[in-house]
Amino acid sequence: MKIIVPIKQVPETSNVSMDPETGTMIRDGVESIINPLDLYAIEEAVNLKEEHGGEILVISMGPAKAEMAIREAISMGCDDGILLSNKEFAGSDTLATSYALSQAIKKFNPYDLIICGERATDGDTGQVGPGIAAWLDIPFTTYVSNIKEVNENSMIVQRMVETGYEILEIETPCLLTVIKEINYPRLPSMRGKLLAKKKEIKTWGPDDIGAKKDYLGLEGSPTRVVKISKPKVSRGGEILMPKNESELDKAVDGLIEYLQKKEII
């Protein structure tokens, strides 16, 4: 199987701090990591390779340092990596990003499968995966929680929706976005880390992928971020600290009154 895994490098958002004046993120000292939800895509690709043989190509678009994310993916078991990095790509929204990635993926035709994380934890859109599939005109599905069968020209997958799970048969080549439930991502092995360190990661620009320039970067991006603001942090709620049993009883009565006032009961 030839599998392609598009990944994104994101800021470690769990301890992100915001500038209260400007409402922007303080990037100093913020570590860059592989989008945590991409780890499930990488792991699934490696599992499939271990079971069916084949090779895995990791592809990412971002600044030069995004090479680190590609090396980390290689240390987990991916074979090769390509970084799309050029000032012409800067400022891309999901339309331009999915276009650039799809152009690069075309260079690796024929492939069997593209696996993406459900969404990136910074932008949180989940639009790039389906976008790539639409540009490539290949079948796709989202929220995949299990790959049940891999056949000659199709796969059977399980997709999580609000009320349960769909079982789908999808023709290959196809694109899947996967969710956390699908596996437990492994840690990089020592051998993997050594391989990743030595690997040459190619950096490609617009000409390498035959991209139309007006489809790239800020120019090729229909959406504009016009304002960043800080969400209301505190709701200023009533916080009770009962000191004894009767105060606790009152606090619970207060909760029941609250539920009644809000017409929840």
Partner 1 sequence: MSYKDVWVLSEQEDGKIKLVSYELLTRGRFLADKRNVKLVAIILGKSIDKEGLQELIYRGANKVIVIEDTSLEYFLPEPYANTVASLIQKYNPEIIIASATTTGRTVMPAVAIKCITGLTADCTDLDIEEETGNLIQTRPAIGGNILATIMTPKYRPQMATVRPHSNKPLVPDNSRTGDIIYEKVDKSILKSRIKKLDFKINQEEDANIQDADVVISGGKGLKKEENFQMIRNIAALLDGAVGASREAVDLKWATYPHQVGLSGKTVSPKFYMAVGISGSVQHLAGIKTAENIVAINSDPEAQIFQVADYGIVADLFEVLPVLTKKLEALKQ
Nearest distance in Å: CB 245, partner 1:
8
C-alpha distances in Å from residue 221, one per residue of 11, 26, 74, 88, 225: 22, 25, 30, 12, 11
**Among the listed residues 37, 104, 147, 196, the single contact to partner 1 using CB under 8 A:** 37
**Among the listed residues 95, 115, 196, 211, the single contact to partner 1 using CB under 8 A:** 95
**Selection from 84, 100, 98, 53 nearest residue 204 by Cα:** 84
DSSP 64: G
Rounded to whole angstroms, the Cα distance separating 221 from 171 reads 31
Nearest distance in Å: CB 226, partner 1:
5
Rounded to whole angstroms, the Cα distance separating 4 from 112 reads 8
* Per-position b or e across 216-247, b if 16+ CB within 10 A of its CB: bbeebbeeeeeeeeeeeeeeeeeeeeeeeeee
Nearest distance in Å: CB 193, partner 1:
25
Q: Does 51 bind partner 1 (CB under 8 A)?
A: no
> Which of 112, 122 has the CB closer to partner 1?
122
Sole window of 64-72, 74-82, 121-129, 191-199 interacting with partner 1 (rule: CB under 8 A): 121-129
Show contacts with partner 1 in window 155-194 (CB under 8 A): 156, 159-171, 174, 179-181
Q: Does 54 bind partner 1 (CB under 8 A)?
A: no
What character string, x for contact with partner 1 (CB under 8 A) and - otherwise, covers 190-219?
A: ------------------------------
Handedness of CA 16, 17, 19, 22 (dihedral sign): positive
**Among the listed residues 1, 11, 108, 150, the single contact to partner 1 using CB under 8 A:** 11
**Among the listed residues 135, 196, 201, 216, the single contact to partner 1 using CB under 8 A:** 135
90 neighbors 62 (Cβ within 8 angstroms): no
